[in-house]
Amino acid sequence: MGPDRSFQNLLLLLALALCSAAVSGEGSRRFWVENDTFWKDGAPFQIVGGDVHYFRIVPEYWKDRILRANALGLNTIQTYVPWNLHEPKPLSWEFKGFTDIESYLRIAHELDMLVMLRVGPYICGEWDLGGFPPWLLTIEPTIELRSSDSTYLSLVDRWWGVLLPKIAPLLYSNGGPIIMIENEFGSFGDDKNYLHYLVEVARRYLGNDIMLYTTDGGAIGNLKNGTIPQDDVFAAVDFDTGSNPWPIFRLQKEYNLPGKSAPLSSEFYTGWLTHWGEKIATTDASSTAKALKRILCRNGSAVLYMAHGGTNFGFYNGANTGQNESDYKADLTSYDYDAPIREYGDVHNAKYKALRRVIRECTGIPLPQLPSEIERASYGLVEVQKVASLFDVIDNISDPLKVAFSEQPLSMELMGQMFGFLLYTSEYQEKHSSSILSILKVHDRAQVFVSCSHGDVRKPRYVGIIERWSSKTLQIPSLSCSSNVSLYILVENMGRVNYGPYIFDQKGILSSVEIDGIILRHWKMQPVSLSAVGNLSKLQLIMQMTDAQASKVSIYGDSENKLHDVSLYLNEGISEGPTFYEGHFHIDSESEKKDTFISFRGWNKGVAFVNNFNIGRFWPAIGPQCALYVPAPILKPGDNVVVIFELHSPKPDLIIKLVKDPDFTCGQIEMHAEISVKLKES
């Protein structure tokens, strides 16, 4: 994603445009820019592209989503390559399933689509840490990301040394679909040596025929910092859809070599991102179409960001910050983006049809028929059952080889817990009155529990929450223990910052922890493994059901304080604590497998799994997303298992609902819609 309505650029880094699928005997194929025009095989070419990210779509739907992009009138697909998916651990390479980029590129080629490949190494894109592997944050001495830091460059070289040879056969000149390679840097820094180095590495593996490009916001400062025309790197621009494109395209020419500046908006915004606690971002179909027409009907080129948003499955959503790193805003699980191809593949909507009409009018090219709707099913109500609280099973789901002891708390990354949750435990001597717990720096959300050290440690008392964006202190009531008090702090990594100056975003407890001004020492840290939650019920720890208190939120006040206000409500003790629940539903046959959504209305906050697949985070107490998308390929004929890790209190009737449609009307948004709109307008 690029410049914004409040963030005017997204860092993307030097991008390479690669196309797909190798076809032998086509040595004459060539894509280049000349006379301020793109040329393909000797003929002028207008890029009508769109972002469709392979890692946000189940692989079984890759072909379907590209076909829908093709029916929109697109001739080019743009996608990032997230380093963190492909090298989750140092020297551990992943290129299967969601990470089988070569298969994705071949599918694009088979469907006659060109590809603009944004290989990073930084991608931004509302993706955890901007696509960087979080283990980069553990390297000592600390490395400087996106710079000429020698250690950082050596790791980039190693990564590209694996990736680029895989895509070299898929370059357009080699018979494949890849025409260009890129990323945006000008809004981040001005280290031209770094950019030159990336060009050198790209050329080493890909040769001189591939067009390299940069993407930067259409302003002098960004283009001055991010472009390198002397390296024969094409400078593309991006800008708000409310801007007049042609003055910006004229500015673009100043940062390209003479005759080398075909007008290209490499990120034409069809919608916008949404953070938890905000009103769902939408843009008007008609005005979006008019903005695109201003480019295409004057023979400019554009890439829709997004053509199809998809889903931030698992723990891979990114986050943003405001004026400081505590002003933290995590992205939703859904990456629908209000794009013309909706999260679940729908194209029978006003935006898709409006953009399609403009593309047909401006290009004059006949378009395929609209694809049929993807069938969705409502499987109805599913009753779930409590399996166990986290404290019942923590020793079973925490690898003993990864449990650590330290004088001071360690970050999640140093613990090897790159995503999810980490449980910190220590002890302190209790006073007769209440105590004040203080944590100066926690990323991102800590739930606090206490128990007498010689008491029932499986049922600690819930105290409250300390969050990155709000209060850093918490009052702990006296337990009148005959022994020390055990303090438990469960920290959730809600997604690393993917854009801006605070991108070096470590997770966990990142400072000392104090009780009444005294620093606590001797910490035990247990990573919470959620990789096999489907086996929890086999532990035979099903507990007697307790009456869960209702968790309805009724809050009044400023919409800017939504997260803080809900936290105050939970701090009053209305919480059952982190607990696993399990439910089952039956599908009769393969033909009955359909896309569906799980509605979490009435639940609080947590993570959900379907057949051991992490479908993402839910937080209906805050909103606006109420339901999580479940693609049909995740389901199976027969018994399907849903496991819910609820952090606070479940819906009182222990029911979830499998519905046909998404729902973005949860939380306080319903009460504060008018205020939210006014804030956005201001």
Rounded (10°) CA dihedral 539, 541, 545, 547: -100
The pLDDT score that the predictor gives to residue 186 is: 64
* Proportion of the chain above pLDDT 90, given as a percent: 81
What pLDDT sits at residue 681? 33
Q: Residue 146: its pLDDT value, please?
A: 94
pTM > 0.75: yes or no: yes
The full set of domain ranges for the chain reads: 31-363, 375-386+573-681, 399-528
The span from the CA of 508 to the CA of 515, in Å, is: 18
Instruction: Tell me which CATH homologous superfamily contains domain 399-528.
Output: Galactose-binding domain-like (2.60.120.260)
pLDDT at 668: 57
Architecture of domain 31-363: Alpha-Beta Barrel (3.20)
Whole-number Å distance between alpha carbons of 80 and 14: 11
646 is known as an active-site residue: no
Q: Is 254 a catalytic residue?
A: no
The one catalytic residue among 126, 267, 325, 427: 267
CATH domain 375-386+573-681 topology: Jelly Rolls (2.60.120)
Q: For position 383, what pLDDT does the model report?
A: 98
The edge-to-edge listing of strands for the beta sheet with 485-492 is 404-406, 523-528, 421-428, 485-492, 445-452, 461-467
Q: What is the pLDDT of residue 536?
A: 75
CA distances from 577 to 132, 549, 564 (A): 32, 11, 19
Domains 31-363 and 375-386+573-681 share a fold: no
Q: Which of 87, 126, 182, 184 is catalytic?
A: 184
Give the model confidence (pLDDT) of 126-136 as tens digits: 999 999 999 99
Work out the angle at residue 348's Cα, subtended by the Cα atoms of residues 345 and 354, and round it to the nearest 5 degrees.
Answer: 110
Q: How far apart are CA 493 and CA 495, in angstroms?
A: 6
Task: State which residues of the chain have pLDDT below 70.
Answer: 1-27, 183-184, 186, 457, 538-575, 668-682
Distance CA 508, CA 501 (A): 19
Tokens of residue 70, six digits: 């093709």
